[in-house]
Amino acid sequence: MPSRLLARVVLVLMSTAAAAGEEPGWHFSPLAGEGDRAAMGCTLDTTSVSYTCLVVRCADDFSVALHLHTSRAGGPAGRWELTFDRQTFPMIAVPDASPYGARIEGDMAGIIEAIEQGATGYIEPVEGARGNSSRLPLKGSLQTIRQALYFCAPRTEA
């Protein structure tokens, strides 16, 4: 009996988190099939209808990828600037098959470190519509990203 009760509690909590959708701040991705493999950080005025989010994700090949997830007109693909505590990273988001719509090209190590160690970030498109606010709080990013990437390594036989 206790295991059934625990299973029901876990199921209710999981469905509540999935129903929450995109929300401001850092959390695990609520998108179907993503579970705890992706840390999502969304701008301050994010709602389920209007959002701009960065996603640090463990890819199927165990590499770490950075994705852009936005509701802005024209979609996420294109040139963007990420700024974390006055350090700016120009980037290009290319369409991909992930549930987020676009993956950031290039070396992500410096960007991910800036996200984890920073206080405030901004996500700005270089061209096209901006969408909602660009201010991205970074509080909680380190813990959420580290938890999402904890198992992002190929398994080896002992």
Give the model confidence (pLDDT) of 130-153 as tens digits: 666 799 999 999 999 999 999 887
CA distance 96 to 101: 6
pLDDT at 1 over 70: no
Look up residue 36 and give its DSSP letter: G
* pLDDT, average across residues 38-66: 93
User: Which is nearest to 90 in space by CA: 104, 102, 74?
Assistant: 104
Q: What is the pLDDT of residue 152?
A: 83
CA distance 145 to 116: 8
**H and E: helices and strands count for the chain:** 3, 9
